[in-house]
Structure 1
Amino acid sequence: MRYPDAHKTQTRQRIVAMAALRFRAEGLAGVGIANLMADLGLTHGGFYAHFDSKEQLVATACSQALQQLNQHWRQLLEQAAPGECMAALASDYLSPAHRDLPDSGCALAALAGELARQGVTVRQRVAGELEAILATLAHARQRDGQPDSALADLAMMVGSLSLARLIDDAALSQQLLQQARERLVASK
């Protein structure tokens, strides 16, 4: 039986969405194609109707996750008053809720170390999304009347969130998030 094109598109999107979630929760190496497909009620062989390789899936899933983050940030910026843009982004990104939900959170904070060791296809796709994210951060600083520090802002945000997830001491983790938020807003 042949499925309509829309079914194939929907199935591919289900695979990408589940992979993005699982990669962030379990790491790239921790997710096998057979288990991923089984969790979706699909066959391992069916994977190859949508992707040539796991690398292609990693590139697609991580790219989509970063696009979603950037879209979320753009929505926050639309709602933020000039002068409050970085505060809105920092408060949202460096929150306990974001820290506690890595599977639906920032792919950079969850996977940066693993992504750096991926092939050129994955790194190029992620780099393309990073450019868009950096442009959003630069726009936030511009709306706040501040000089562009997007690279440093992103490094502080991703690094702080990653470390906050690593720390077992809840009070220390919260303190790290708070100090990073304050530093990002104070750099006016």
Structure 2
Amino acid sequence: MHRLIVVNGHPDPRQERFCAALTQAYVRGGKTGGWDASSVSVGELALSSLQCLAEGDQPDAAAAAMLSEIEQADRLALVFPLWFDKPPAPLTTLFSRVAPRKAHIVVTMDMPAFAYRSILRGPERSPMLAVPGIEPEEPVLIGCVSSISLEQRRDWLETLREYGERSRFGSAVVPSRVQAFADMIDRTVAQLWA
């Protein structure tokens, strides 16, 4: 059975965080799709573990176990919040020790997603996807995350479950209807914005 690992990159691992819920929805979908799917949470690493990684020292047992799970995954997905236009430092610190590979990226942000999506289509890549060693596949941008309704949150959870379910080994991630609609709106707004 192929292994799918979904990384919750939020430094706060509490289950009430939206990134944690998105991560678990992706894992549920992966299991439905026939994967041996599970998650790891960067926020569960102690500060001393992260400092050890940042200084280039030997990883402690917790960091080594998380790195091993990530390395053994056949397919990888990352869910993280955008902080000051880039991924959280603990996530980039952990992935500085991961061999280069492709991953499906899901980014939550307070700004409207279309503003960042237009940057991704331009000649310069945004630092928001700059996770060391990761080549992003089909980035999903969830904008205005602090103000979206409960119904919109449920829609996003269903979208992430669908992404997990459709994560077939060796095939690209297929966007859901919600994501396809978001892309259409983003393209329209970007054209009007220019």
Do Structure 1 and Structure 2 share a fold, with TM-score over 0.5?
Answer: no
Is the radius of gyration larger for structure 1 or structure 2?
A: 1
Higher strand share: 2
Higher helix share: 1
